[in-house]
Amino acid sequence: MRNMTTNELKRKSLVYRQKILQYIVKAKAGHTGGSLSSADILNVLYNDVLKVSPNSFSSPDRDRYIQSKGHCVEALYVVLADRGFFPEEELNTLCQYQSRFIGHPTRKVKGVEQNTGALGHGLPIAVGTAIAGKLDDKSYKVFTMLGDGELPEGSNWEAALCAAHYKLDNLCAIVDKNSLQITGPTAEVMSTDPLGRKWEAFGWVVKEIDGNDIDALQRAFNSLPFENGKPSLIIAHTVKGKGVSYMENELKWHHGVPNADQYRQAINELNQQIAELEA
């Protein structure tokens, strides 16, 4: 946790978006759209919510964040580098032969709690970690972020049942609901709506917010747990490709890599948004 103003956080999200693109271009690979949609969630978590730092990362009392939508690792790496878990220049090796910065989260990178990327694993691990916290009488909180296209994995729903059964009010799951997945709109590939009512039926307390709104994210995280004795779910409505006009809501940017002209335009657009924020 750092005491940053909301405006500082908003600026940080824009810089994070630039860095996500920078390292995806350098690697010539990456999950662009879903990293951009989730940048604000990760920003608020790591700069305003999570009690974890490079120094406390080995402490049993640290808060845990497990990234279930592991393919969007570029966003996580950029935020972890900014928080000092490793030197940012190491991200220049992203996806290169023998680099530990592979295209999905790996515990070889300091700050990463769990190896993920096969969808449907993060929530079950988060549930186990939250149960362990209760058994050990620890006060840490457990957070996990899922994609809406990830939710059809059955393991999520077993974990959802389990979290309510064990009254895991130390657990918060965030669905980055950008409404697109890899092959099409989530509603067409495998509809998950009405999403909130499904989770409520499983015993969770649900809040729906604009997941690209820093204030809304801060308010939601500040009110955890939403109810004592129940796990909390934030449905974060986001825009895939957020911040770059030609990427927003465009399926092909799920894992598209911008060419030189596209990259220049994206950085310019984000610079423009930074200038507007500072005006």
Question: Can you give the binding site for ligand TPP, defined by CB under 6 A?
Answer: 31, 34, 37, 69, 71-72, 117-120, 147-150, 176, 178, 180-182, 186, 240, 254
A 10 A CB-CB count for 5 gives 8
- The length of the chain, given as a count of residues: 279
C-alpha 196/C-alpha 6 separation (Å) is 27
Q: How far apart are alpha carbons 45 and 79 in whole angstroms?
A: 10
Can you tell me whether residue 143 is helix, strand or coil? strand
Shortest Cβ distance from residue 45 to ligand TPP (Å)?
16
Strand partners, 33: none
Nearest approach, Cβ of 138 to ligand TPP (angstroms)?
A: 29
Tell me the CA distances in angstroms from 119 to 26, 95, 100, 104, 181, one per residue in order. Answer: 25, 20, 20, 11, 12
Helix (H, G, I), strand (E, B) or coil at 142: strand
Nearest distance from residue 76's CB to ligand TPP, in Å? 13
Nearer to ligand TPP, 71 or 237 (CB): 71
Taking the least distance from each CB to ligand TPP, the nearer of 40 and 169 is 40
CB closer to ligand TPP, 133 vs 149: 149
CB of 145 to ligand TPP, least distance (A): 9
Q: Which residue is nearest to ligand TPP (CB)?
A: 147
How far is 215 from 44, CA to CA, in rounded Å? 9
> Which of residues 184 and 229 has its CB atom nearest to ligand TPP in the complex?
184
CA distances from 192 to 32, 108, 185 (A): 23, 34, 11
The whole-angstrom separation of Cα 277 and Cα 176 is: 24
Nearest-approach distance from CB 276 to ligand TPP, in angstroms: 26
Q: Provide, rounded to whole angstroms, the least separation between the CB of residue 72 and ligand TPP.
A: 6
